A and B are shown apart, each in its own frame.
Chain A
Amino acid sequence: MSATVRIPTILRTYTAGAGEVNADGRTLAEVLDSLEDNHPGIRARILDDAGALRRFVNVYVGDDDVRFIGGLDAQVAEGTKISIIPAVAGGAHH
């Protein structure tokens, strides 16, 4: 499955300035693995040391906040748009 991932400004140093990149995977976790293969270092900025989504990052699969649809296990359909957005100030753990 191929998805389009929107990259926030502060992570574009990993994507040579690109605001949108392609990545593969059936779940969000797999998409982040694919992202890491092509842009080494980027995954550790999105996930914490325990491998969970960082507290101040919001990730959307389509229009859905992944915290409502299974977190890293969220299903990713072919052609889905994924957005990674810094939480405006706080955000949530789970």
Chain B
Amino acid sequence: MTAVVDTDPAPVPGVRAGAFGNAAHLVCRECGAHTALGPFYACTECFGPLEVGYEFPTITRERIEAGPRSIWRYAPLLPVPADIATFRSTDPGFTRLVDARHLADDLGLEQLWIKDDSGNPTHSFKDRVVAVALSAARELGLQVLACPSTGNLANAVAAAAARAGIKSVVFVPANLEQQKILASAVYDTTLIAIEGNYDDVNKLASEIAAEEEGWAFVNVNVRPYYAEGSKTLGYEIAEQLGWRIPDQVVVPVASGAQLTKIDKGFRELIKLGLVEDKPFVIFGAQATGCSPVAQAYRAGQDFVAPVKPDTIAKSLAIGNPADGPYVLDVVRRTGGVVADVDDETLVANIQRLARTEGIFAETAGGVTVGVTAKLLSDGVLDPEAETVVINSGDGLKTLDAVANRVGPKITIPPRYEAFIDFWKDTNS
């Protein structure tokens, strides 16, 4: 353990004043040592992960509400410059918060909202984090935007780089859903398919990040900035509820960063006096075939033993989740749990969400809805408490999941008699 440094380290040379807005330093989540705002992600003292620390001025609801209808309305709360909205990005965020009363009735919940992040520019929450990483890359003078990805992130990086007019390189597992591969390749990124799973791709990316100067691996060497983008999910939920924090939130867990940052976002809003200070409970959702954090939760451990993923929920298939230990901290502190559902159940819950709310979620959304249903029937989730469930991506990216579950009710010749025979049968 190293003593906490009181004074902030000297800024990295060549970085303009205000490049990171109200961010003041990087701070080690393990030993508390401070590092200058730069392309760093591991503490030089203990290898611990770095995150962004701030010195916030007074920030008002009115100022935020006057901002653009994107994550940039929260710019004073992010490690981005005050003039961020003048740069070319995909301007993600401010996705809809859907009053899910039919799903609530189906589940036996009093009040349920779906935060539908499939409405982002490349149809997943990853546009939020990439936009913040892109800003950091620009301010640090890095010229290539890159990532290892389970698919959604590759889509977001490729699109953001195209919009910004910079080069991108994305690394994906070769066995990824075709929709996600094509949805990255179309932006003319350099897409490299790796013969291995996400953890193999991640390892390779870390090795490349150590050797290639001028590259911003969004979720590796600029990860501290990138991860802050997920706080905007928390800010938006609170603002869209009328500056109020919900009682319960169910969040998908892949690396776990999204869950920990929603928690951080809520706590910042409370600290800044933008919402009333009240308790909230955060639940984590995983697919059984890749559930290292749920297993650690059940075993009462504060560390996460890596697993080899085997699930159709590929966007959640991270066997060695970077923020796993911090997810355990957050759910235990707030009184939540981490639970999992199998592939069969997650597909049934993709259908349930589509049938009741007209929202077509990708596999991760099936996991969050499935875990919500499971926790309700287990008596863990409070049916009376206002609940928000995150849908992090679009079902059009994981069509295979429902391919042999839904389809035409019947195929008939183009004749009225054929139709009316079928219609009478089905409605008799």
Contact = CB atoms under 8 A, between A and B. Distances in A.
Interface string A14-42: 00000100000000000000000000000
A50 interface: no
Contacts of A60: 203
A57 B49 CA distance: 10
Contacts of A65: 199, 203, 306, 320
B206 A93 contact: no
Interface residues on B, range: 35 or more
Contact of A92 (B200, B257, B306): B306
A92 B206 contact: no
Nearest to A87: B322
A58 B320 contact: yes
Contacts of A67: 305-306
Interface stretch (B4-12, B40-48, B118-126): B40-48
Interface in A33-67: 45, 54-58, 60, 63, 65, 67
Given A88-B202, A90-B304, A93-B303, A56 B47 contact: yes
B426 to A, nearest CB: 52
A93 B299 CA distance: 14
A56 B304 CA distance: 12
B146 to A, nearest CB: 14
A56 B322 CA distance: 9
A56 B305 contact: no
A90 B47 contact: no
B323 A86 contact: no
A5 to B, nearest CB: 13
Contacts of B323: 89-90
A93 B301 CA distance: 10
Contact of B207 (A55, A57, A68, A85): A85
B320 A89 contact: no
B322 A88 contact: yes
Contact of A90 (B211, B305, B324): B324
B320 A10 contact: no
B11 to A, nearest CB: 19
B303 A94 contact: yes
A91 B207 CA distance: 16
Highest count of chain B CB atoms <10 Å: which of A6, A56, A57, A60:
A56
B193 to A, nearest CB: 17
Contacts of B42: 8, 10, 56, 86-87
Given A9-B210, A57-B47, A58-B320, A88 B255 contact: yes
Interface string B244-280: 0000000000011100000000000000000000000
Nearest to A94: B305
Contacts of A10: 42, 44, 47
Interface in B290-343: 303-306, 320-326
By Cβ-Cβ distance, the 5 closest A-B pairs, closest first, are: A89-B322, A93-B303, A86-B42, A89-B49, A56-B47
30 contacts: A9-B210, A10-B47, A19-B211, A45-B47, A55-B325, A56-B42, A56-B43, A56-B46, A56-B49, A58-B320, A60-B203, A63-B200, A65-B203, A67-B305, A68-B306, A83-B203, A83-B207, A85-B203, A85-B206, A85-B207, A85-B210, A88-B219, A88-B220, A88-B255, A89-B223, A89-B322, A90-B322, A90-B324, A92-B320, A92-B324
